[in-house]
Structure 1
Amino acid sequence: MVSNPPIIFLDEPTSGLDSVSVKHCIEILKVLTGQERTVICTIHQPSSYVFKSFNQVYFIQDGMCVYNGSSSNLIPFMSSLGYDCPVTYSPADFIIETVQTVQESVSPLVDSIQNGKLNRRDSKVLHSSDYPLLRKSSDIYKETTQMLETKTDIDFPTSFWTQFSILFSRMILQIKRNKKAIWIQLFHHTLCGVLFGLLFSGIGNNASFTVSNFKYCVCVLVFFVYTYIMSPVILFPSEVRLLKREYFNRWYGLKPYFLAVSLRSLPLMLVLGMAFIIITYLLTDQPMELDRFVWFSFASILVGVASEGLGTTIGSICSITNGSMVAPAVAAPLVFFCIYGMGYGQYIGRVMNIIIYTSYMRVGIVALTQSVFGNRHPLECTDEIYCYYQDPKRLLRDVGMADASYTLHVLGLIGYVIFFRLIAYLALRFRLTSELSRIIVNYISKIFHYR
């Protein structure tokens, strides 16, 4: 219903439902028909209530139409041919039982209704020329072909934001219903937060553990990377298979769907991510400055969003099996570029300095480190006579981040978020556009065949 279709085809919508649910389902369908929509259903054993609810019924036996018309006119039609329906019988059950048990009844019914060409509707016989839905299929095919030739891009009746709001609401509802997954993620974030806090307990203002504090930033980065990169790699390929069917049926557009997919995990990520950050930030005794905490939290969440975007890109291109191998293979060099030059950062060459920034993790670790050590007063040196990294500027120099700007690196993370999402969108667009993908595959096959 997202795209507000004028005609709805339903295959056995009441099957498997109890009588109360069947009544509710039919009432909803009647409401839809009252909004200038046409609802067409196939039902094998309709109850009396279901049967009377339909304005138009069409019975088929052995591939031939035995009745076409209003539900109220079925009993008079059968009586006119000598088949009287008992008072206690449902009209639908009666005609089904008659055509299946009395073989000689099929031909009179088919002949009287002219195999569906006549429509016994509203107590009068309508010919196909009087009823638009009974026109010849060849005429409808010609009109449809002409329409597609004049306008190949058929617009959706509903707007982009209407489709987005409905799809996003559905996805949020699905997340809420999966309470087990929410509890698992909450346990994971809380446990990791406590473990990280205990491993790096009380090092935030201690100059003797400045390097360990930098390692804490690296661990936070790795946590957000691997927590959010694998979920879409494993889960999104299954959604792509469902998307192919729904998009092929033109239930909604790809753009509102992809925007909803991109934003659906953000609320839960903010809640769980902030829980992890608060626990570790307090246990590690980081500087109690609101601006630093906000900068640190913002950079961490952006790393998680970028990681999820990379996972979505891989999930859009690969199957679950291939994606499970591709994701670690892609992440490994990105981690290497992230930690390259630690200890000799001032000697990194220009070319290598450009290469390492092809990793969004490098951009993320610089933002996290700058939020903790940037523009900071000398740390406390209590455990040793002399602390080399008492001045945080020395650490930033040795890890190659002395002149780095927090703002520019946050903008870089936002750029990577947009880049990964764009690649994922284009990959989905390619997979859903069978004609384009088929042409590209044929050209590639010709090239290799020629060689």
Structure 2
Amino acid sequence: MAGQSAWNVVRLLRKLADQGQAILCTIHQPSALLFESFDRLLLLERGGETVYFGDIGKDSHVIRNYFAANGAFCPANVNPAEYMLEAIGAGTTPRVGDRDWKDIWLDSPECESLRSKIAQINNEALTRPVAEKTKLSTYATPFMYQLRTVTARNYLALWRSPDYLFSRLFVCSFISFFVSLSFLQLGISLRDLQFRVFSLFWVTILPAIIMAQIEPMFISNRRTFIREASSRIYSPYVFAIAQTLSEIPGSIVCAIVYWVLMVYPMHFGQGAAGLNGTGFQLLMTLTMMIFGVTLGQLIGAISPSVQVAALYNPFLTLVLGTFCGVTLPHVNNGFWWTWLYQLVPYTRTIAAMVSTELFGLKWGQAFVNITGGYIDNLDATSNCKYCSYAVGDEFYTPLGISFSGAGATLGSSLLILLSTWLRQSLHRDISATPNADP
């Protein structure tokens, strides 16, 4: 069994060598068949002195001829590997001849030919122009090639997980459809104005749903990355960016479905922004989708397990929803409002959506220039319908919201980029310890 195992190993080495792989190995007491499988031999005696270095040849004829020329003739029925050891005195019998075999090698034409070849190689190397020193890279392939390959692999993995995609699409469409049925064809009354703001507030629920779905998937993919990180196939930055890019197509589809079921049944876009305003609502809905993806991946990156990651979600959902700018009255003082109101990204998103929907939305005809507001039934002789708000702007101004869509979009985008950068930094630390417990 030992001989068969040795033959299998040598046969594998022979296949690798035939493919151009350089192999250096030592072998102890090889059989004649194994010995002939090698191309060249470096034979050493006691003290590390060279006895022979050169080709073996078919049926070991090259090395047989060398020893025969120096007085050590190997019979045809004897293993040449064992005979050489006996001839140089490495076995139990005295060496063949009266000279040390290292001296024979130093005076041999084979040694002289080898020295000439080494000198020729050195001269050729000296005549070559010095190549410019290039910066060594940790990875064998460029960054963009890594990103394309890993992103394509993630796309394929998600495509093969239809339950993962359809579950998010179903939840997003169900929430939007349920809210739309509750507020069908909103009008221009004060109660409808409040309903418009409340219907937009439901967009803040989307990141919480996405986070609960993203975190298990991200932690599972992280285990794969940790296993592959030791081989230096791709960088942690590529892993983090590819995880986000692969989620964008699904987020776009979910955002469009949610937007269609929200805008048209509830009769949005009656303000001064018009149809452009409804298009902006789609952009902000997509922003919330991607923010939920990046925030869920951030939580997954700092969590050792899915169970721990799930503990963050209720707290973050509560804080983000409470201080989004519409659930609590806007004040300019207080401990929480001093910093948390500015820190929560929902304040910019909800402010952009509310101001776009209510900007220039008239709630009736003009009442009087002195008191402001409007009277809904100017021709009536009783039951005067008076509203204190002439346009929707006057409703959201006390909430600390202003019509500044570009600023809101920029703020949300910066928060998304910040979240992605934090995940990349965390994965850089993870990749430094590839054997860590995920």
- For the aligned pair, the TM-score class normalised by the smaller chain equals 0.5 to 0.7
The alignment status of 1:190 with 2:173, answered yes or no, reads yes
2:269 & 2:281 partners in 1: Cα distance? 11
Distance 1:108 1:283, change over 3 A: same
The residue that corresponds to 2:372 in the other structure is none
Greater Rg over alpha carbons, structure: 2
- Whether the 8 Å CA contact 2:241–2:420 is kept in 1: the answer is no
- Whether the 8 Å CA contact 1:201–1:283 is kept in 2: the answer is yes
Distance 1:65 1:392, change over 3 A: closer
- Whether the 8 Å CA contact 2:219–2:300 is kept in 1: the answer is yes
- Whether the 8 Å CA contact 1:205–1:285 is kept in 2: the answer is no
The alignment status of 1:297 with 2:218, answered yes or no, reads no
- The SS at the match of 1:265 is helix
Shift of 1:121: 11
Q: Which string of whole-angstrom CA distances, capped at 9 and with x for unpartnered residues, describes residues 307-329 of structure 1?
A: 22111111011021100002222
Distance 1:66 1:273, change over 3 A: closer
The residue that corresponds to 2:411 in the other structure is 412
Shift of 1:389: 4.2
The residue that corresponds to 1:325 in the other structure is 311
Distance 1:357 1:123, change over 3 A: farther
- Residue of 9, 16, 34 corresponding to 1:113: 34
The alignment status of 1:315 with 2:333, answered yes or no, reads no
- Whether the 8 Å CA contact 1:309–1:421 is kept in 2: the answer is yes
Could you tell me which amino acid in structure 2 is paired with residue 386 of structure 1?
Y
Q: Which runs of no fewer than 5 residues in structure 1 stay unpaired?
A: 1-58, 72-106, 128-149, 439-451
The residue that corresponds to 2:215 in the other structure is 233
Distance 1:171 1:205, change over 3 A: farther
The alignment status of 1:171 with 2:154, answered yes or no, reads yes
- The count of corresponding residues between Structure 1 and Structure 2 is 319
The alignment status of 1:212 with 2:211, answered yes or no, reads no
| Superposed counterparts of 1:26-41, under 5 Å | none
- Whether the 8 Å CA contact 2:324–2:341 is kept in 1: the answer is yes
- Whether the 8 Å CA contact 1:190–1:275 is kept in 2: the answer is yes
List structure 1 runs of 4+ shifted beyond 6 angstroms.
119-127
Could you tell me which amino acid in structure 2 is paired with residue 412 of structure 1?
G
The residue that corresponds to 1:398 in the other structure is 398
Shift of 1:66: 5.8
Shift of 1:211: 0.9
Q: Percent identity?
A: 14
1:66 & 1:219 partners in 2: Cα distance? 68
Distance 1:65 1:258, change over 3 A: closer
Q: Which string of whole-angstrom CA distances, capped at 9 and with x for unpartnered residues, describes residues 59-82 of structure 1?
A: 9617984646767xxxxxxxxxxx
The alignment status of 1:283 with 2:268, answered yes or no, reads no
1:121 & 1:307 partners in 2: Cα distance? 67
Could you tell me which amino acid in structure 1 is paired with residue 155 of structure 2?
I
The alignment status of 1:271 with 2:249, answered yes or no, reads no
2:405 & 2:198 partners in 1: Cα distance? 18
1:359 & 1:182 partners in 2: Cα distance? 28
TM-score (normalizing by structure 1): 0.62
Shift of 1:117: 5.3
The residue that corresponds to 1:386 in the other structure is 386
- Residue of 232, 235, 246 corresponding to 1:250: 232
TM-score (normalizing by structure 2): 0.64
Shift of 1:213: 1.0
Distance 1:70 1:331, change over 3 A: same
Distance 1:62 1:414, change over 3 A: same
Structure whose residues are more often helix by fraction: 1
Shift of 1:122: 10
- Whether the 8 Å CA contact 1:228–1:305 is kept in 2: the answer is no
- Residue of 359, 362, 365 corresponding to 2:347: 362
- The SS at the match of 1:214 is helix
Q: Which runs of no fewer than 5 residues in structure 2 stay unpaired?
A: 16-27, 41-54, 64-132, 366-375, 378-382
- Whether the 8 Å CA contact 1:356–1:362 is kept in 2: the answer is yes
Distance 1:316 1:123, change over 3 A: farther
- Whether the 8 Å CA contact 1:194–1:280 is kept in 2: the answer is yes
The alignment status of 1:61 with 2:19, answered yes or no, reads no
1:112 & 1:208 partners in 2: Cα distance? 95
- The SS at the match of 1:283 is coil
- Whether the 8 Å CA contact 2:36–2:58 is kept in 1: the answer is no
Shift of 1:243: 0.5
RMSD: 3.7
